Amino acid sequence: MEFLQGRALTNAIGNLELTGQYAEALKQLGHNLEDVASQEPDPALGNGGLGRLASCFLDSMATLNYPAWGYGLRYRYGLFKQIITKDGQEEVAENWLEMGNPWEIVRNDVSYPVKFYGKVVEGTDGRKHWIGGENIKAVAHDVPIPGYKTKTTNNLRLWSTTVPSQNFDLGAFNAGDHAKANEAHLNAEKICHVLYPGDESSEGKILRLKQQYTLCSASLQDIISRFESRAGDSLNWEDFPSKVAVQMNDTHPTLCIPELMRILMDIKGLSWNEAWSITERTVAYTNHTVLPEALEKWSLDIMQKLLPRHVEIIETIDEELMNNIVSKYGTADISLLKQKLKDMRILDNVDLPASVAKLFVKTKMKKGKLLVESLESIAEADEKTEPEEEENILSETTEKKGESDSEEAPDAEKEDPEYELDPFAKYDPQLPRVVRMANLCVVGGHSVNGVAEIHSEIVKQDVFNSFYEMWPTKFQNKTNGVTPRRWIRFCNPELSAIISKWIGSDDWILNTDKLAGLKKFADDEDLQSEWRTAKRNNKMKVVSLIRDKTGYVVSPDAMFDVQVKRIHEYKRQLLNILGIVYRYKKMKEMSAKDRIKSFVPRVCIFGGKAFATYVQAKRIVKFITDVAATVNYDPDIGDLLKVVFVPDYNVSVAEKLIPASELSQHISTAGMEASGTSNMKFAMNGCILIGTLDGANVEIREEVGEENFFLFGAHAPEIAGLRQERAEGKFVPDPRFEEVKEYVRSGVFGTSNYDELMGSLEGNEGYGRADYFLVGKDFPSYIECQEKVDEAYRDQKLWTRMSILNTAGSPKFSSDRTIHEYAKDIWDISPVIMP
C-alpha cells in the first residue's frame, strides 16, 4: 500500500557510480549538486517503516539482479504535510506533484478496468459473471529502480485511477449541472488522492477498500497479461506459480487472494480446485504487526456491497477452512473445536454453514432445561438423515431461534425432541459481521513470515497459533534489513570513505559482512579521531537543519539523542519526553555548578507524524512541543538541555539526522514492535541504541554486543502478567513517576490541559486508561539506564569504541541478506544478469 522512496536523483547517480562526475558537470554549469538535489520533493507515497522497508527491498532486488517489481498506488496528496504550530500538529495536503514528476513514465497504453458494486449472475456457460456497477480505469505510471553497480533497472509500477472521456456527462454540463457532469471522474480520481484516508465514516471505509481492491485488481491483471503474452501458444496455467510469485506486504493487499481466484475461474475458465491450487502456490504473506487494530477487519456488509463476487469466494474459502478444521480436530472435544473455529474463521460473527452448524445442534428434552446431545449421537443420527431432512432440521431450528422463552414447551413426558442451534453457530445482531483479512492471508498463501526473530515467534505462538498448529511448515522468519547504499554510502559519504579506507576497499557496500573488519581497529586512536570528526561534521549539518526548520539554535558539542518514527503510544515517545521532563526538573533543583557536574549536555530530537484522527498521538506531539518551548528558553539550563521536534519528518530529513545521531531511542513496549528498521540504520551509522528487548533490537544487541547497547524495561513474556497485575490493582508506581506527572500538571509547561494524557497512565481499567503500554512500569528502569548513557558519553574514547562496534556489528541488517532469503525460501527465484 505504500513505498517511502525518498529522493531519486542522488540515489540514481550514486547507484550508477556517477556522483563525482555529475557534481563536476553541474559545477561547470554553475550549479551545486546538493542545492539541485534539494529541489526534488520527497515522493508522498508512504509514511513509516512499512513503506520504507518496501523501498529498501526494491533497491536490493535491483542490485542483486532479481527479476522483481513493486506495485503500488500513485497518491496525489500523500498522507499529509505536517506543520507544527502552537496548537501542535496540523495537516495540509502534500504538493509533491505540482511541478510534475520527471522520474515517472506514464504508460497510457497500460491500463485495466476495475469494477465496484454491481451483482453476480450465472451465465449459460456455467461461469459466474459480475455485471453492472461502477467501472473505472487504472493507468500505469512506471518509476525506474536502478541497482548498484549493475545494468539491472527494475520497475515500481504505480496506478492512478480515472474513467474514459465518454463518462463525462456533456448533457448535464451544458444544462448547468457541472458537478453531476464530472461526478464519475471525481469518484474515480479520489481513489488515489490520499494515502490512508480517514476511515471513521462509512465513506472513508469504502474509499480505503476501493484503494486496496484497485491495487490488487490492476496489479494481478497486469501480471496475468504478461504471463499470457510470454507463454504465447504454449499457455499452461499450471506453470503460473513457477513463473509468478506475489508477496503481500501486510494485510492491505489481501484481496489478491479472492481476486486471483475470480480471474482464474470467471474469466479464464478454471475450476475451483485448479484456481485454488494455483492461488495458494503463488501468493505469500508478510505479517508486520501484532497490534490487534492493525490486523485488518473489514465490514462484511460493506464488502458485500462493494465486491459481491469476492464475498462469495471468501465464503467458500471460509467453509472449506472450517471443514478442514473439523477433519483435523474431530468432534470428540466440542470446546476445543469451538475455540479453533473461533480463532481461525475468516468470517467473524457470521452464521456457520450448514455442513458445520449441524455439529452444534442442541436438543430440548425437558421444560426449561437444555441438554446438549452427545456429538456421538448427532454423528450417528447424521448417518441416518437424508440431506433434505438435515436441511429441514436446521431450517426448523432457525425458525425457533426467535421464539419466546415464555412459550409453553411440549409435554416433557412425550420426550419429543425439539432442535435448536447452539448460539455459537449463529450471528449475533449486537456485533458487527467482519472479514478477518489476516486469517485470509494465512489460509490463502503458501508462506507466512514475520520480520524479526522475536516477532516471528510471537506470530507462531500467539497471533496465529492455531494456524501454526495446523500448518507449521508455512511459517518462517525473515528479519528485516535496510539498503546500505542509501543508508550509509549516500547519506554518510564521509563515514563511508573512512570505512573503505580502514577495511581496504568499498566492497562492503555490496557485501556488508566486510564491515566486521572494523572490529580489530575499534581501539585505534587514529580511527577514533577520524570517526569523531565525521560525526561532528554531520552534527553541524543538523544544527543548520534545526535552525532552518524550527528556529532553535543548538550546540554541536551536546549529545544528539534522537527518536524519529511514527507517533504511536506503543512506540512510547511519551516515555521519552517524560524522561526529559524528569531530567529538566532535577536540573532546576540543582545549582549551576552541580548541574554541569551531574548531566551531560543533550539535544533531544523528535520527529514523526501522528495520524490525523489519532487524538492521543497528537496530544503527545503537542506535549513535546510545549516542553520544548519552555526548556529551550530557560536561561538557567542553556545548552545543557534542548528539545526539538523536527516538523514533517521524511526520508530526506532522516538522511541528515541519522548520520549525526549519537544515541537513538527504540523504546517500544516489549512484544509490540514487529521489527523496526530505523534501529538498523542508526546502528549502521555508528549510533548507539537505548531500547527494550523488542523487534529487531534483540538481534541488533546480539550482533553489536550487549555492552554496546543500553537495555532497559520489562521483557515480552512478562507483559500480559504485568497488565493483569495492573487490572487487579496491585501495581505500585515508582515515586519518581508520580513526581514527574505532578510536575507536568503543575503548569510549568504552559496552560494546556494534560489531564487526558496523564490520565492514560493512571487507573486500573477502562478504555484509554490503566497505562496499557507500561510507561509507568518501565519509567524507573528507563531513567536509570539514561544515567548509564551519561556516564558512558563522558568517556569519549569508550563511546567512540562503542560507536565503531555498532557499525562493525551491523552486517546482518542489510536488506540484501533479507532479499536473498525471500528469493531462496519463498519466491524460488534466481538472479538474472543483464548481458
* Residues identified as active-site: 288, 565-566, 571, 677, 681
Whether 54 and 70 have beta carbons less than 8 Å apart is answered as yes
| Spatial CB neighbours of 449, under 8 Å, sequence gap ≥ 6 | 284, 285, 286, 287, 456, 475, 476, 477, 478, 826
Q: CA-to-CA distance for 36 and 720, rounded, in angstroms?
A: 52
Q: Return the closest-CA partner of residue 583 out of 523, 627, 646, 625.
A: 627
Q: Return the closest-CA partner of residue 562 out of 587, 589, 535.
A: 535
Q: How do strand 434-436 and strand 297-299 relate by DSSP bridges?
A: antiparallel
Q: Using N-to-C axis directions, what is the helix angle for 573-588 and 735-745, rounded to 10°?
A: 80
Helices (H) and strands (E) in the chain, counts: 35, 24
Task: Please provide the size of the chain in residues.
Answer: 835
609: which strand partners? none
For 81: left if phi > 0, alpha if psi spans -120 to 50, otherwise beta; the answer is beta
Q: Helix, strand or coil for residue 519?
A: helix
Whether 643 and 627 have beta carbons less than 8 Å apart is answered as yes
For 630, the enclosing helix (H) or strand (E) is helix 615-631
AA letter at 100: G
| Spatial CB neighbours of 82, under 8 Å, sequence gap ≥ 6 | 89, 90, 91, 609, 647, 648, 649
CB neighbours of residue 96 within 10 Å: 19
| Spatial CB neighbours of 760, under 8 Å, sequence gap ≥ 6 | 569, 616, 768, 769, 771
Alpha-helix residue ranges (DSSP H) falling in 8-48:
9-15, 19-28, 33-37
The single residue listed with the C-alpha cell 521536534 is: 645
132, three cell numbers: 453492472
Q: How do strand 475-477 and strand 559-564 relate by DSSP bridges?
A: unpaired
Q: CA-to-CA distance for 379 and 386, rounded, in angstroms?
A: 13
Positive or negative torsion for Cα 354, 357, 358, 363: negative
In what order do the strands lie in the sheet containing 134-146? 70-73, 153-162, 134-146, 105-116
In what order do the strands lie in the sheet containing 418-421? 369-371, 361-366, 418-421
Q: CA-to-CA distance for 386 and 389, rounded, in angstroms?
A: 5
147, three cell numbers: 541497482
Q: CA-to-CA distance for 808 and 804, rounded, in angstroms?
A: 6
AA letter at 468: Y
For 73, the enclosing helix (H) or strand (E) is strand 70-73
Q: In sequence order, what E strands does 588-653 have?
A: 602-607, 641-646
AA letter at 279: T
Whether 109 and 88 have beta carbons less than 8 Å apart is answered as no
CB neighbours of residue 105 within 10 Å: 12
AA letter at 793: Y
Whether 631 and 641 have beta carbons less than 8 Å apart is answered as yes
If 0-12 CB within 10 Å is exposed, 13-18 middle and 19+ buried, where does residue 142 land? middle
Positive or negative torsion for Cα 211, 213, 216, 218: negative
Q: Using N-to-C axis directions, what is the helix angle for 775-794 and 735-745, rounded to 10°?
A: 100
519, three cell numbers: 572490529
